Structure 1
Amino acid sequence: MYSSIIVAVDVAQIDRAESILLKASALSSPDGRITLVNVIEEVPGYLTIEIPDDLMMTARTDSETRLRALRDRVGVNAGIEIRNGSPAREILTAAEANNADLIIIASHKPDLSNYFIGATADRVVRHAKCSVLVDR
């Protein structure tokens, strides 16, 4: 059983998140903490002139709404963290900040550049200081 679990969620694939949140609940100790983490990638500076000013705030609000709905639908008591930046780096930072002993992350079907697992999942597995469960 794990005492602190980070569940990395891509809100664009929220249907995959339900199964990994259920796994986190099953693996969590009775007094364990589960934290849902979503990362909003920062927009490169050269593109910021082309996008609306409130895009990042809208993305943050949408992510939080979707994660709350997921948490309520599954019926799991979990905290929510929305972070900005590189997904792999922010997932790892959240794991360290929460003293996580497990990260659960879904992996999409890979292309040739990342054949075995997805790019973000690959980076998390390589650099995590705790156990990582990759869900396919």
Structure 2
Amino acid sequence: MYETILVATDGSSPANRAVDAAVDIASTFDADLHVVSVVDTSRYGDSMLSGTEDVIDELRGRAEEILEDVETRADVDVTTEIRRGRPHEEIVGYADSTDADLLVVGNRGLGASGQIGSTAERVVRYVDRPVLTV
């Protein structure tokens, strides 16, 4: 049913639940699992960050730690990717480039509240493939 699954993570608790669900689904269907983490430069403004590569390096380092954690937790082969930009745009773009059959995202991210997070909402709105929010 699923050959390629993409899960997006920012290291938050909902994203970790999404990773666990994606690993389970990939294991069940013997699917390829892709994990993407996006360095959210839109939060700070790309123009503001252009002169501060230290900030970008720190954010990228955090993303690398998150992806390494996923690789050690997963009992399936994982392909990881770090992207830079607006999270929903990068997640949708990566889903398109890998032709993912299913996207798995946390229902809230680092700015957790009682409602669905803006990134999850935008992914659901702009992607043309099934999305599981966890």
Same fold by TM-score, threshold 0.5 exceeded?
yes
2-structure distance, mates of 1:78, 1:17: 16
Pairwise CA distance, 1:75: 3.1
Pairing 1:1-136 to 2, within 5 Å after superposition: 1-11=1-11, 13=12, 15-28=13-26, 29-30=29-30, 32-42=31-41, 43-45=44-46, 47-48=48-49, 52-108=52-108, 109-110=112-113, 115=115, 117-135=116-134
Measured on the aligned residues, the alpha-carbon RMSD in Å equals 2.1
TM-score by length of 1: 0.80
Pairwise CA distance, 1:19: 2.6
Gaps (5+ residues) in structure 2? none
- Bigger CA radius of gyration: 1
Q: How many residues align?
A: 127
Task: Give the 3-state SS of the residue equivalent to 2:99 in structure 1.
Answer: coil
2-structure distance, mates of 1:48, 1:82: 17
Task: Give the 3-state SS of the residue equivalent to 1:2 in structure 2.
Answer: coil
CA contact (8 A) 1:7 1:103 kept: yes
Structure number with the higher strand fraction is: 1
TM-score by length of 2: 0.82
The 4+ residue runs of structure 1 with deviation greater than 6 A are none
State the one-letter code of the partner of 1:17: A
Change (3 A) 1:17 1:40: same
Gaps (5+ residues) in structure 1? none
Change (3 A) 1:23 1:54: same
